[in-house]
Structure 1
Amino acid sequence: MAQEMLRCGTAEIDRLVAAGLPYEERSGVRHFDANDLYNLGMYSTTSKTQPELAFRMLFRFAGRPVDDLLRTKNWDFQVHLECPDCAGEAPWRLEEPDIVRFGGNVADVTAPAPGSGSATYTATVTTTGARTPVLSPVLRQLTGEYLAAGYRWQMIPVPMQADYALVHELGATSCIAASLLLAERFRGAGYRAEAKRGWFCGVLGGALDLPHACVEVEDDDGKVKTIDIAKAQLAARLSASTGEFQELCLGSIYNKVIPSTASGNAALAHHECGSRTPVHVRADIRSVR
């Protein structure tokens, strides 16, 4: 997997290991952490690794006019829940799509009945976009300072992202860690703010679950604005042509994001069977044409 993801040979892998790339040996075979490999590929500057190619493909929309991101869009929304160490039949609790307050809609909902092992939640979710840029000079200054700080976006396990102080001490960031820290700074400046989790839609046709988080903050006009700080940061890495999308991320909403009712450091789902092992959540969100 490592050679395929990084598009390199055995000698290059050996050099990475010698330089400190951690691995676990099982039956004489080296096994690497997928996050480590993704982060190596993302910043390799070879322009040929799977993470680099996927990043350019996934964010190609960010360099286009944003009008398409503001129109109404329908999604076939499915979330698969798995309780790995299930202790028996019990109700499921999913932090459901929270889109109505942003002008969207949730219909044809099939919520999971009490059960064991696994379950599925399905719905048709309608999203839309709107230009509602942040007005507060203070909020814009704090956001700009964060973006200019030079934190490196990385793939980080979700439980670690909740420890946002540690993540940023390491010079790294992620959507959840960034949103938690920025929300804290907004509150320190006297604003009502909260990091919220959700889903980033339309990734590889819906077959890739990406944890996502934004900051919701009450602006000087009394309206709640959404700051998608991580997407603004990632778009800035792509090219200078993404300026319009970066500005959209600073207060506005767009149709590729479905917010949930979960706060930034909360689990998206829970099974009330008594198991202490977190529920695995995998989203499959596909555009309805």
Structure 2
Amino acid sequence: MTAAGLSRALDTLFAVPPQHRVGDTDRATARQVLGCDDDTLSTLLDRGLQASGPAGAERFDSRDLFNLALHSGTGTTVPEQAFAYSLRWMRSSTEQLLAPRASRFALRVACAADGCGPQPTSTLALPRPERLGGALHDLSVEPAAPGDVGGDTVVRTASELAVTATVHTRGEQAELRCPELRAIVAEFAAMRLRWVKLPAALRNDVDLVTTHGVASCDSASRYLARRCVAAGLPAVTRIGWVVGMLDLVHAWVEVEDADGTTKVIDPVFALFAAAVRGANPLLRDPAVALRTNRLVPTGLPTGQAVAEHRCAGEPTAARIATTILPAPTRPEES
């Protein structure tokens, strides 16, 4: 069953293009990710799974392996099980998805080099839950500096930087009033796109949506925002975090509806919900904007980063850690 599912998924796999491919995974790890034996892995190689290196010692791109496993339909691979676990909240009732939520938020960036280079600069995005009807309390930045936490980011001349806060979020269910907007959302749903892990250079590539039927959070949001703007509907993309999915910097669309209010359209969550048995149907309803209480927005659009580090004026590899844990709600903060 696993072998058949992987073979079917390979037929529709969007392989990482050669110029972006990284051979970061050996055969043993590939078998673990795919949940298959060595003979099945060899069969996949014979059928076109991309790899580098000599036979028996091939190196694979981890993103190809992840995407292949995720869309295999076996239900037994590591990526499938990880997604099933992290998206189990999609089965929640509407009341649970809308209820006020308090979380303790921590974001840290540090230079990944053994020795940080000269003139280091670290940048972090700030959580801005007030953009979506929430609130921010107990904001702290380390290293501390006065008067610079009112914007969308904080910057320090330091090898590492940390932000902590208590974040209050709440959901909202709103009908989409504009017929054109409803048609755009329904059209997107009918495209039956597949979410995939992509190289950083391709995450904003809207052309992949229309030519290959695959999307990242960023490219799906850009596609929808462009369609809205072309229809005369003011729209912007937004990035942020999702409570319970710490390794995923999420993206969505904020669009002004015919009633003058801004609605959140979350195109990729609609794709995810289609794969979650028992998911709340409102997550996929093209007539409804369901903003869940799990969104923690920044003030940044797609194409920008929530964490960056530079040495000697050049972008460098960084270690990024995100923690969002439940926090008690004080009555005066709800």
Whether the TM-score (by the shorter chain) exceeds 0.5 is yes
**Which piece of structure 1 moves more, 66-75 or 250-259?**
250-259
Aligned runs of 1:32-181 on 2, under 5 Å? 32-84=60-112, 86-113=116-143, 114-181=156-223
Q: Provide the residue aligned with 1:19 in structure 2.
A: 47
Once the two structures are overlaid, the 10-residue window that deviates more, 53-62 or 32-41, is 53-62
Counterpart position of 2:268: 230
Q: Deviations over 1:242-269 (max 9, x none)?
A: 3133339942322111111110121223
Aligned-partner residue type, residue 41 of structure 1: A
Q: Which runs of 5+ in 2 are unaligned?
A: 1-28, 144-155, 329-334
The alpha carbon displacement at 1:110 in A equals 1.8
Task: Work out whether residues 228 and 250 of structure 1, in 8 Å CA contact, stay in contact via their aligned partners in 2.
Answer: no
Secondary structure of the residue aligned to 1:263 is coil
Cα distance in structure 2, aligned partners of 1:258 and 1:158:
22
| Aligned twin of 1:214 | 252
Cα distance in 2 for partners of 1:144, 1:167 equals: 15
Q: Secondary structure at the match of 2:174?
A: coil
Question: In 1, Cα distance between the equivalents of 2:201 and 2:94?
Answer: 33
Counting only pairs closer than 5 Å after superposition, residues 187-206 of structure 1 correspond to structure 2 as 187-203=229-245
Structure 1 distance, partners of 2:224, 2:106, is 30
Deviations 1:74-94 (A, max 9, x none): 112111213446543455332
Structure 1 counterpart of 2:96, one-letter code: D
- Say which of 276, 280, 301 aligns to 1:263: 301
- What one-letter code is carried by the residue in structure 2 that aligns with 1:93? T
Query: 1:288 maps to what in 2?
Result: 327
Paired with 2:242 and 2:210, the residues of 1 have a C-alpha distance of 23
* Superimposed CA distance per residue, residues 139-165 of structure 1 (whole angstroms, 9 cap, x where no aligned partner): 110111011012222122333111222
Q: Is 1:182 aligned with 2:224? A: yes
Residues 99 and 105, structure 1, Cα contact 8 Å, conserved in 2: yes
Partner Cα distance (2:235, 2:320) in 1 = 26
Q: What is the count of residue pairs matched by the alignment?
A: 285
Distance 2:101 2:286 in 1: 17
Q: Supply the distance in 2 between the matched residues of 1:165 and 1:112 (Cα, whole angstroms).
A: 40
Q: Deviations over 1:17-42 (max 9, x none)?
A: 2222223449x743322211111111
> How many Å separate the matches in 2 of 1:24 and 1:281?
29
Contact 2:283 2:290 in 1 (8 A): no
Counterpart residue identity of residue 287, structure 1: P
Q: 1:269 to 1:47 in 2, by over 3 A?
A: closer
Secondary structure at the counterpart of residue 44 of structure 1: coil
Which digits, 9 at most, give the CA deviation of each residue in 1:97-118, with x for residues without a partner?
1211322111222224334333
> Is the contact made by 1:195 and 1:264 (CA closer than 8 Å) also made in structure 2?
yes
Q: 9-18 vs 238-247, which deviates more? A: 238-247
Would the aligned equivalents of 1:88 and 1:116 in 2 still touch at CA under 8 Å? no
- Contact persistence 1:24–1:31 (CA under 8 A): yes
The answer (yes or no) to whether the contact 2:193–2:209 under 8 Å persists in 1 is no
The 2-side partners of 1:282 and 1:133 are apart by 36
The change in CA–CA distance for 1:158 and 1:212 in structure 2 (over 3 A counts) is farther
Q: Relative to structure 1, is the Cα distance of residues 230 and 185 closer, same or farther in structure 2, using a 3 angstrom cutoff?
A: same
In structure 1, distance between residues paired with 2:303 and 2:288: 21
Tell me which structure has the larger Cα radius of gyration. 2
Counterpart-to-counterpart distance in 2, 1:209 and 1:223? 31
Q: Please give the per-residue CA displacement for 1:11-63, whole angstroms capped at 9, x wherever unaligned.
A: 1111122222223449x743322211111111112221111222222222222
Q: Which amino acid aligns with 2:190?
A: A
Aligned-pair CA distance for 1:241: 4.8
